Protein backbone atom coordinates (compact mmCIF):
# COMPACT_ATOMS: atom_id res chain seq x y z
CA UNK A 1 0.00 0.00 0.00
CA UNK A 2 1.45 3.38 -0.96
CA UNK A 3 2.32 5.78 1.82
CA UNK A 4 2.37 9.60 1.90
CA UNK A 5 5.80 11.04 2.53
CA UNK A 6 6.00 14.44 4.13
CA UNK A 7 3.37 17.02 5.05
CA UNK A 8 3.10 18.49 1.51
CA UNK A 9 2.17 15.14 -0.07
CA UNK A 10 -0.28 14.48 2.74
CA UNK A 11 -1.89 17.87 2.21
CA UNK A 12 -2.19 17.38 -1.55
CA UNK A 13 -3.73 13.90 -1.29
CA UNK A 14 -6.14 15.06 1.37
CA UNK A 15 -7.12 18.00 -0.80
CA UNK A 16 -7.79 15.70 -3.75
CA UNK A 17 -9.70 13.30 -1.55
CA UNK A 18 -12.05 16.07 -0.47
CA UNK A 19 -12.23 17.72 -3.92
CA UNK A 20 -13.31 14.69 -5.95
CA UNK A 21 -16.47 13.87 -3.97
CA UNK A 22 -17.47 17.53 -4.14
CA UNK A 23 -17.07 17.56 -7.96
CA UNK A 24 -19.04 14.31 -8.29
CA UNK A 25 -21.83 15.74 -6.17
CA UNK A 26 -21.95 18.90 -8.23
CA UNK A 27 -21.99 16.99 -11.53
CA UNK A 28 -24.83 14.78 -10.31
CA UNK A 29 -26.84 17.78 -9.13
CA UNK A 30 -26.51 19.43 -12.58
CA UNK A 31 -27.76 16.41 -14.49
CA UNK A 32 -31.34 16.34 -15.72
CA UNK A 33 -31.59 12.71 -14.50
CA UNK A 34 -32.27 13.97 -10.97
CA UNK A 35 -35.50 15.68 -12.02
CA UNK A 36 -38.88 14.62 -13.31
CA UNK A 37 -38.36 16.38 -16.67
CA UNK A 38 -35.83 18.46 -18.57
CA UNK A 39 -37.92 21.60 -18.05
CA UNK A 40 -38.16 21.02 -14.29
CA UNK A 41 -34.36 20.65 -14.19
CA UNK A 42 -33.89 23.92 -16.12
CA UNK A 43 -36.30 25.82 -13.87
CA UNK A 44 -34.57 24.50 -10.75
CA UNK A 45 -31.13 25.58 -11.96
CA UNK A 46 -31.40 29.03 -13.56
CA UNK A 47 -28.26 30.16 -15.34
CA UNK A 48 -26.65 26.70 -15.22
CA UNK A 49 -25.47 24.25 -17.87
CA UNK A 50 -27.27 20.93 -17.41
CA UNK A 51 -26.00 17.53 -18.51
CA UNK A 52 -28.33 15.31 -20.58
CA UNK A 53 -27.11 11.70 -20.21
CA UNK A 54 -27.36 9.15 -23.01
CA UNK A 55 -30.90 7.93 -23.60
CA UNK A 56 -34.20 9.00 -25.17
CA UNK A 57 -36.25 11.84 -23.64
CA UNK A 58 -39.76 12.21 -25.03
CA UNK A 59 -41.45 15.62 -24.70
CA UNK A 60 -44.81 17.06 -25.76
CA UNK A 61 -44.11 20.74 -24.96
CA UNK A 62 -41.22 22.92 -26.03
CA UNK A 63 -38.18 23.12 -23.77
CA UNK A 64 -37.72 26.79 -22.80
CA UNK A 65 -34.45 28.50 -21.90
CA UNK A 66 -34.76 32.16 -20.92
CA UNK A 67 -31.98 32.76 -18.38
CA UNK A 68 -28.50 34.06 -19.18
CA UNK A 69 -25.70 31.46 -19.32
CA UNK A 70 -28.10 28.51 -19.16
CA UNK A 71 -27.99 25.53 -21.48
CA UNK A 72 -28.04 21.82 -22.15
CA UNK A 73 -25.24 19.48 -23.21
CA UNK A 74 -24.63 15.78 -23.52
CA UNK A 75 -25.29 12.70 -25.64
CA UNK A 76 -29.03 12.44 -24.93
CA UNK A 77 -31.70 12.34 -27.64
CA UNK A 78 -34.72 14.61 -27.23
CA UNK A 79 -37.81 13.44 -29.14
CA UNK A 80 -40.69 15.87 -29.72
CA UNK A 81 -44.01 14.00 -29.89
CA UNK A 82 -46.16 17.07 -30.61
CA UNK A 83 -46.19 18.44 -34.17
CA UNK A 84 -47.56 21.77 -32.88
CA UNK A 85 -44.49 22.62 -30.79
CA UNK A 86 -40.84 23.37 -31.50
CA UNK A 87 -38.30 21.21 -29.69
CA UNK A 88 -36.23 23.89 -27.92
CA UNK A 89 -36.95 27.61 -27.63
CA UNK A 90 -34.44 30.19 -26.38
CA UNK A 91 -35.70 33.68 -25.73
CA UNK A 92 -34.47 36.97 -24.18
CA UNK A 93 -31.18 35.53 -22.93
CA UNK A 94 -27.44 35.81 -23.50
CA UNK A 95 -24.68 33.21 -23.30
CA UNK A 96 -26.99 30.21 -23.76
CA UNK A 97 -25.34 27.03 -25.05
CA UNK A 98 -26.78 23.90 -26.63
CA UNK A 99 -24.13 21.25 -27.31
CA UNK A 100 -23.86 17.65 -28.51
CA UNK A 101 -27.57 16.84 -28.31
CA UNK A 102 -29.66 14.89 -30.81
CA UNK A 103 -33.01 16.55 -31.59
CA UNK A 104 -35.68 14.72 -33.54
CA UNK A 105 -39.41 14.07 -33.80
CA UNK A 106 -41.58 11.03 -33.38
CA UNK A 107 -42.57 9.44 -36.68
CA UNK A 108 -46.08 10.86 -36.74
CA UNK A 109 -44.90 14.40 -35.94
CA UNK A 110 -42.05 14.79 -38.43
CA UNK A 111 -44.05 17.19 -40.62
CA UNK A 112 -44.59 20.37 -38.63
CA UNK A 113 -44.83 24.16 -38.83
CA UNK A 114 -42.21 24.56 -36.15
CA UNK A 115 -38.48 24.50 -35.60
CA UNK A 116 -36.11 22.16 -33.84
CA UNK A 117 -34.34 25.17 -32.28
CA UNK A 118 -35.89 28.63 -32.21
CA UNK A 119 -33.77 31.43 -30.72
CA UNK A 120 -35.19 34.95 -30.51
CA UNK A 121 -33.76 38.09 -28.91
CA UNK A 122 -30.53 36.43 -27.84
CA UNK A 123 -26.92 37.49 -27.55
CA UNK A 124 -23.84 35.26 -27.91
CA UNK A 125 -25.81 32.04 -28.17
CA UNK A 126 -23.78 28.93 -29.09
CA UNK A 127 -25.25 25.95 -30.95
CA UNK A 128 -22.48 23.37 -31.30
CA UNK A 129 -22.43 19.77 -32.56
CA UNK A 130 -26.20 19.37 -32.54
CA UNK A 131 -27.67 16.50 -34.58
CA UNK A 132 -31.12 17.39 -35.93
CA UNK A 133 -33.03 14.74 -37.85
CA UNK A 134 -36.47 14.72 -39.51
CA UNK A 135 -37.70 18.10 -38.35
CA UNK A 136 -39.63 18.74 -41.57
CA UNK A 137 -40.91 22.29 -41.61
CA UNK A 138 -41.58 25.23 -43.92
CA UNK A 139 -39.67 27.27 -41.39
CA UNK A 140 -36.12 26.04 -40.64
CA UNK A 141 -34.56 23.38 -38.47
CA UNK A 142 -32.59 26.14 -36.70
CA UNK A 143 -34.01 29.68 -36.63
CA UNK A 144 -32.33 32.80 -35.23
CA UNK A 145 -34.32 36.01 -34.92
CA UNK A 146 -33.28 39.43 -33.69
CA UNK A 147 -30.06 38.11 -32.19
CA UNK A 148 -26.45 39.27 -31.97
CA UNK A 149 -23.17 37.39 -31.98
CA UNK A 150 -24.62 33.90 -32.49
CA UNK A 151 -22.45 30.93 -33.42
CA UNK A 152 -23.81 27.81 -35.13
CA UNK A 153 -21.00 25.27 -35.53
CA UNK A 154 -20.47 21.61 -36.44
CA UNK A 155 -24.18 20.76 -36.52
CA UNK A 156 -25.71 18.04 -38.68
CA UNK A 157 -29.15 18.79 -40.09
CA UNK A 158 -30.70 16.02 -42.12
CA UNK A 159 -34.14 15.74 -43.76
CA UNK A 160 -35.62 19.16 -43.06
CA UNK A 161 -37.93 19.61 -46.09
CA UNK A 162 -41.64 18.83 -46.42
CA UNK A 163 -44.47 18.81 -48.97
CA UNK A 164 -46.59 21.94 -48.67
CA UNK A 165 -48.30 24.80 -50.54
CA UNK A 166 -46.56 28.12 -51.26
CA UNK A 167 -49.42 30.62 -51.09
CA UNK A 168 -48.63 33.92 -52.82
CA UNK A 169 -52.20 35.08 -53.35
CA UNK A 170 -51.83 37.90 -50.80
CA UNK A 171 -48.88 39.32 -52.78
CA UNK A 172 -50.17 41.31 -55.75
CA UNK A 173 -46.86 40.80 -57.53
CA UNK A 174 -47.68 37.09 -57.88
CA UNK A 175 -51.28 36.20 -57.01
CA UNK A 176 -51.22 32.40 -56.97
CA UNK A 177 -50.47 29.36 -54.78
CA UNK A 178 -48.75 26.13 -55.83
CA UNK A 179 -47.68 22.73 -54.54
CA UNK A 180 -44.02 22.54 -53.60
CA UNK A 181 -41.32 21.09 -51.43
CA UNK A 182 -40.12 23.63 -48.88
CA UNK A 183 -37.82 23.88 -45.90
CA UNK A 184 -34.58 25.45 -44.75
CA UNK A 185 -31.69 24.06 -42.76
CA UNK A 186 -30.52 27.23 -40.97
CA UNK A 187 -32.57 30.44 -41.13
CA UNK A 188 -31.25 33.76 -39.81
CA UNK A 189 -33.52 36.80 -39.68
CA UNK A 190 -32.71 40.29 -38.39
CA UNK A 191 -29.38 39.30 -36.84
CA UNK A 192 -25.89 40.80 -36.68
CA UNK A 193 -22.49 39.23 -36.22
CA UNK A 194 -23.63 35.66 -36.92
CA UNK A 195 -21.09 32.89 -37.54
CA UNK A 196 -22.35 29.78 -39.37
CA UNK A 197 -19.46 27.35 -39.73
CA UNK A 198 -18.68 23.71 -40.52
CA UNK A 199 -22.26 22.44 -40.56
CA UNK A 200 -23.65 19.59 -42.68
CA UNK A 201 -27.10 20.25 -44.14
CA UNK A 202 -28.45 17.36 -46.22
CA UNK A 203 -31.87 16.44 -47.60
CA UNK A 204 -32.12 12.74 -48.43
CA UNK A 205 -35.85 12.25 -49.16
CA UNK A 206 -37.35 15.06 -51.24
CA UNK A 207 -34.98 15.18 -54.18
CA UNK A 208 -36.35 16.77 -57.38
CA UNK A 209 -37.17 13.62 -59.31
CA UNK A 210 -39.94 13.22 -61.84
CA UNK A 211 -41.50 10.58 -59.57
CA UNK A 212 -41.72 13.02 -56.64
CA UNK A 213 -43.15 15.74 -58.90
CA UNK A 214 -45.83 13.42 -60.27
CA UNK A 215 -46.75 11.93 -56.89
CA UNK A 216 -47.34 15.29 -55.17
CA UNK A 217 -48.34 17.35 -58.27
CA UNK A 218 -45.46 19.69 -57.54
CA UNK A 219 -45.57 23.00 -59.37
CA UNK A 220 -49.32 22.77 -60.07
CA UNK A 221 -51.26 25.85 -59.01
CA UNK A 222 -53.99 25.29 -56.43
CA UNK A 223 -55.20 28.93 -56.18
CA UNK A 224 -55.25 31.85 -58.57
CA UNK A 225 -56.36 35.45 -58.06
CA UNK A 226 -58.88 36.98 -60.49
CA UNK A 227 -56.19 39.40 -61.74
CA UNK A 228 -52.70 38.49 -62.94
CA UNK A 229 -49.82 39.34 -60.60
CA UNK A 230 -47.83 42.45 -61.54
CA UNK A 231 -44.59 40.49 -62.02
CA UNK A 232 -46.22 37.64 -63.96
CA UNK A 233 -46.15 37.43 -67.73
CA UNK A 234 -49.31 36.27 -69.45
CA UNK A 235 -47.85 33.00 -70.71
CA UNK A 236 -46.81 31.88 -67.21
CA UNK A 237 -50.17 33.01 -65.82
CA UNK A 238 -52.10 30.99 -68.37
CA UNK A 239 -49.88 27.95 -67.89
CA UNK A 240 -50.68 27.83 -64.13
CA UNK A 241 -47.53 25.91 -63.37
CA UNK A 242 -44.34 26.94 -61.53
CA UNK A 243 -40.99 25.37 -62.31
CA UNK A 244 -39.53 26.63 -59.03
CA UNK A 245 -41.40 24.09 -56.91
CA UNK A 246 -38.23 23.48 -54.93
CA UNK A 247 -38.44 26.15 -52.25
CA UNK A 248 -36.27 26.85 -49.22
CA UNK A 249 -32.51 26.97 -48.70
CA UNK A 250 -29.69 25.16 -47.00
CA UNK A 251 -28.75 28.46 -45.33
CA UNK A 252 -30.87 31.62 -45.47
CA UNK A 253 -29.85 35.02 -44.08
CA UNK A 254 -32.64 37.54 -44.55
CA UNK A 255 -34.10 40.88 -43.36
CA UNK A 256 -32.71 43.43 -45.83
CA UNK A 257 -31.11 46.49 -44.19
CA UNK A 258 -31.15 44.74 -40.80
CA UNK A 259 -29.11 41.53 -41.01
CA UNK A 260 -25.42 42.45 -41.11
CA UNK A 261 -21.88 41.14 -40.64
CA UNK A 262 -22.51 37.43 -41.29
CA UNK A 263 -19.86 34.74 -41.86
CA UNK A 264 -20.86 31.51 -43.64
CA UNK A 265 -17.78 29.33 -43.72
CA UNK A 266 -16.87 25.71 -44.32
CA UNK A 267 -20.39 24.29 -44.54
CA UNK A 268 -21.49 21.29 -46.62
CA UNK A 269 -24.92 21.67 -48.24
CA UNK A 270 -26.31 18.83 -50.34
CA UNK A 271 -29.56 18.12 -52.23
CA UNK A 272 -31.18 21.38 -51.21
CA UNK A 273 -33.21 23.84 -53.25
CA UNK A 274 -31.16 27.03 -52.92
CA UNK A 275 -27.80 26.35 -51.31
CA UNK A 276 -27.12 29.77 -49.75
CA UNK A 277 -29.63 32.62 -50.00
CA UNK A 278 -28.61 36.12 -48.85
CA UNK A 279 -30.71 39.23 -48.30
CA UNK A 280 -28.24 41.09 -46.08
CA UNK A 281 -25.11 43.26 -45.99
CA UNK A 282 -21.42 42.61 -45.27
CA UNK A 283 -21.42 38.83 -45.57
CA UNK A 284 -18.52 36.45 -46.18
CA UNK A 285 -19.32 33.17 -47.94
CA UNK A 286 -16.11 31.14 -47.93
CA UNK A 287 -14.92 27.55 -48.11
CA UNK A 288 -18.38 26.02 -48.50
CA UNK A 289 -19.30 22.96 -50.55
CA UNK A 290 -22.70 23.23 -52.25
CA UNK A 291 -23.66 20.05 -54.10
CA UNK A 292 -26.75 19.20 -56.18
CA UNK A 293 -28.78 22.27 -55.26
CA UNK A 294 -30.61 23.81 -58.19
CA UNK A 295 -29.10 27.16 -57.17
CA UNK A 296 -25.66 27.39 -55.57
CA UNK A 297 -25.98 30.82 -53.97
CA UNK A 298 -27.63 34.14 -54.62
CA UNK A 299 -27.50 37.61 -53.11
CA UNK A 300 -30.37 40.04 -53.74
CA UNK A 301 -32.91 42.45 -52.16
CA UNK A 302 -30.24 45.04 -51.41
CA UNK A 303 -27.34 42.74 -50.54
CA UNK A 304 -24.28 44.99 -50.29
CA UNK A 305 -20.58 44.19 -49.77
CA UNK A 306 -20.80 40.42 -50.17
CA UNK A 307 -17.61 38.34 -50.50
CA UNK A 308 -18.04 34.95 -52.21
CA UNK A 309 -14.67 33.22 -52.22
CA UNK A 310 -13.04 29.80 -52.41
CA UNK A 311 -16.25 27.77 -52.54
CA UNK A 312 -17.02 24.55 -54.41
CA UNK A 313 -20.31 24.66 -56.36
CA UNK A 314 -21.00 21.28 -57.96
CA UNK A 315 -23.92 19.92 -60.01
CA UNK A 316 -26.09 23.04 -59.83
CA UNK A 317 -28.85 23.41 -62.42
CA UNK A 318 -30.26 26.98 -62.57
CA UNK A 319 -27.17 28.96 -61.64
CA UNK A 320 -24.21 28.50 -59.32
CA UNK A 321 -23.58 32.15 -58.38
CA UNK A 322 -26.21 34.83 -58.87
CA UNK A 323 -26.52 38.50 -57.91
CA UNK A 324 -29.47 40.74 -58.68
CA UNK A 325 -31.78 43.41 -57.24
CA UNK A 326 -35.13 42.37 -55.78
CA UNK A 327 -38.39 43.91 -54.66
CA UNK A 328 -36.76 45.04 -51.37
CA UNK A 329 -34.03 46.94 -53.25
CA UNK A 330 -34.37 50.73 -53.39
CA UNK A 331 -32.23 53.86 -53.62
CA UNK A 332 -30.92 53.46 -50.06
CA UNK A 333 -30.73 49.67 -50.20
CA UNK A 334 -28.73 48.78 -53.30
CA UNK A 335 -27.03 45.60 -54.44
CA UNK A 336 -23.31 45.44 -55.18
CA UNK A 337 -19.92 46.55 -53.97
CA UNK A 338 -19.17 42.81 -53.89
CA UNK A 339 -16.42 40.35 -54.81
CA UNK A 340 -16.74 36.87 -56.37
CA UNK A 341 -13.32 35.22 -56.40
CA UNK A 342 -11.49 31.90 -56.62
CA UNK A 343 -14.56 29.67 -56.69
CA UNK A 344 -14.79 26.40 -58.59
CA UNK A 345 -18.02 25.60 -60.43
CA UNK A 346 -17.97 22.01 -61.64
CA UNK A 347 -20.35 19.77 -63.61
CA UNK A 348 -22.97 22.49 -63.99
CA UNK A 349 -26.25 21.13 -65.35
CA UNK A 350 -25.69 17.59 -64.09
CA UNK A 351 -27.72 17.75 -60.87
CA UNK A 352 -31.04 16.08 -60.09
CA UNK A 353 -32.99 19.22 -61.09
CA UNK A 354 -31.39 19.58 -64.53
CA UNK A 355 -34.43 18.00 -66.21
CA UNK A 356 -36.57 20.86 -64.85
CA UNK A 357 -34.36 23.75 -65.98
CA UNK A 358 -32.84 22.45 -69.21
CA UNK A 359 -29.76 23.95 -70.86
CA UNK A 360 -30.95 27.57 -71.10
CA UNK A 361 -29.40 28.35 -67.74
CA UNK A 362 -26.00 29.73 -66.74
CA UNK A 363 -23.40 29.12 -64.04
CA UNK A 364 -23.03 32.91 -63.43
CA UNK A 365 -26.16 35.10 -63.45
CA UNK A 366 -26.16 38.91 -63.08
CA UNK A 367 -29.74 40.08 -63.41
CA UNK A 368 -31.78 43.25 -63.68
CA UNK A 369 -34.30 44.08 -60.99
CA UNK A 370 -37.64 42.43 -60.39
CA UNK A 371 -39.39 45.81 -60.67
CA UNK A 372 -38.66 48.67 -63.10
CA UNK A 373 -37.64 51.08 -60.31
CA UNK A 374 -35.16 48.69 -58.64
CA UNK A 375 -31.69 50.29 -58.68
CA UNK A 376 -29.21 48.20 -60.69
CA UNK A 377 -26.64 45.79 -59.37
CA UNK A 378 -23.43 47.86 -59.40
CA UNK A 379 -19.69 47.43 -58.80
CA UNK A 380 -18.89 43.72 -58.68
CA UNK A 381 -15.42 42.18 -59.12
CA UNK A 382 -15.40 38.67 -60.59
CA UNK A 383 -11.89 37.23 -60.64
CA UNK A 384 -9.95 33.99 -60.49
CA UNK A 385 -12.96 31.69 -60.81
CA UNK A 386 -12.86 28.28 -62.50
CA UNK A 387 -15.79 26.88 -64.49
CA UNK A 388 -15.07 23.27 -65.38
CA UNK A 389 -16.95 20.27 -66.77
CA UNK A 390 -16.37 17.01 -68.59
CA UNK A 391 -17.82 16.39 -72.03
CA UNK A 392 -20.30 18.73 -73.73
CA UNK A 393 -21.37 21.87 -71.87
CA UNK A 394 -24.89 21.67 -70.46
CA UNK A 395 -25.48 25.41 -70.48
CA UNK A 396 -25.82 28.04 -73.19
CA UNK A 397 -23.49 30.69 -71.77
CA UNK A 398 -20.98 30.59 -68.93
CA UNK A 399 -22.12 34.08 -67.90
CA UNK A 400 -25.47 35.78 -68.41
CA UNK A 401 -25.77 39.54 -67.87
CA UNK A 402 -29.35 40.70 -68.30
CA UNK A 403 -30.09 43.97 -70.10
CA UNK A 404 -32.36 46.92 -69.49
CA UNK A 405 -34.33 48.00 -67.62
CA UNK A 406 -31.79 48.61 -64.85
CA UNK A 407 -29.11 46.31 -66.25
CA UNK A 408 -26.06 45.58 -64.07
CA UNK A 409 -23.32 48.25 -64.05
CA UNK A 410 -19.56 48.12 -63.51
CA UNK A 411 -18.96 44.38 -63.57
CA UNK A 412 -15.19 43.79 -63.69
CA UNK A 413 -13.96 40.36 -64.85
CA UNK A 414 -10.33 39.25 -64.65
CA UNK A 415 -8.28 36.04 -64.64
CA UNK A 416 -11.30 33.70 -64.80
CA UNK A 417 -11.18 30.31 -66.54
CA UNK A 418 -14.65 29.94 -68.01
CA UNK A 419 -15.33 27.02 -70.31
CA UNK A 420 -17.78 28.32 -72.93
CA UNK A 421 -21.31 27.05 -73.22
CA UNK A 422 -22.96 25.86 -76.41
CA UNK A 423 -23.36 29.50 -77.55
CA UNK A 424 -20.20 30.97 -76.06
CA UNK A 425 -18.82 32.49 -72.89
CA UNK A 426 -21.30 35.35 -72.43
CA UNK A 427 -24.52 36.77 -73.83
CA UNK A 428 -23.09 40.27 -73.32
CA UNK A 429 -20.46 42.44 -74.97
CA UNK A 430 -18.76 42.59 -71.60
CA UNK A 431 -15.84 40.15 -71.83
CA UNK A 432 -15.56 37.90 -68.76
* Cis? peptide before 405, omega within 30° of 0: yes
The answer on pLDDT for 192 being more than 50 is: yes
Mean confidence (pLDDT) of the chain: 92
Higher pLDDT, 158 or 18: 158
Task: Provide the pLDDT for residue 405.
Answer: 84
The residue among 69, 256, 259 whose CA lies nearest residue 146 is: 259
Residues 22-43 have pLDDT tens digits of 344 444 449 999 999 999 999 9
What confidence tier does 3 reach under pLDDT thresholds 50, 70, 90? very low
d(CA 326, CA 303) in angstroms, rounded, equals 9
Task: Provide the pLDDT for residue 22.
Answer: 37
* Cis? peptide before 369, omega within 30° of 0: no
Task: Provide the pLDDT for residue 133.
Answer: 98
**pTM: predicted TM-score of the whole model, two decimal places:** 0.91
Other CB atoms within 10 Å distance of the CB of residue 385: 28
First-to-last alpha carbon distance for the chain, in angstroms, is 80
d(CA 428, CA 321) in angstroms, rounded, equals 17
Burial class (CB in 10 A: 0-12, 13-18, 19+), 23: exposed
**Averaged pLDDT for residues 38-66:** 98
Q: What is the DSSP letter of 120?
A: E
Domain boundaries, the chain: 161-418
Burial class (CB in 10 A: 0-12, 13-18, 19+), 299: buried
Higher pLDDT, 309 or 404: 309
Give yes or no for a contact between 361 and 394, defined as CB atoms under 8 angstroms apart: no
24 phi/psi in degrees, rounded to 5? -60, -40
d(CA 218, CA 222) in angstroms, rounded, equals 10
Give yes or no for a contact between 94 and 124, defined as CB atoms under 8 angstroms apart: yes
Give yes or no for a contact between 125 and 153, defined as CB atoms under 8 angstroms apart: no
The sheet that has 417-418: what strands, in order across it?
56-59, 77-80, 102-105, 131-133, 156-158, 200-202, 268-270, 289-291, 312-314, 344-346, 386-388, 417-418
Query: 3-class DSSP state for residue 48?
Result: coil
The residue among 193, 199, 164 whose CA lies nearest residue 178 is: 164
Task: Provide the pLDDT for residue 142.
Answer: 98
Give yes or no for a contact between 326 and 370, defined as CB atoms under 8 angstroms apart: yes
Amino acid sequence: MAQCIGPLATSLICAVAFLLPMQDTQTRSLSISNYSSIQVAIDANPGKMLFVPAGDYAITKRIRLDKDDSGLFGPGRIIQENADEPIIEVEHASGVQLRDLTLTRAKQTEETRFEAVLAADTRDIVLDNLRIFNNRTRSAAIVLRESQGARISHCTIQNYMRITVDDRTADLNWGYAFNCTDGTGIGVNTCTGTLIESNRIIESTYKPTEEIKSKYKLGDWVKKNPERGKLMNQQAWDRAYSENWQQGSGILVTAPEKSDMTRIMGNHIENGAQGIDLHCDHAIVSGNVVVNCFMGMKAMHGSRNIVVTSNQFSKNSLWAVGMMPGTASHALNTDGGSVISNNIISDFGEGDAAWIWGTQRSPFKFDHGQEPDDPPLTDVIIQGNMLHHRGVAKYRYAVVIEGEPNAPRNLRFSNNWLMPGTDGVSNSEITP
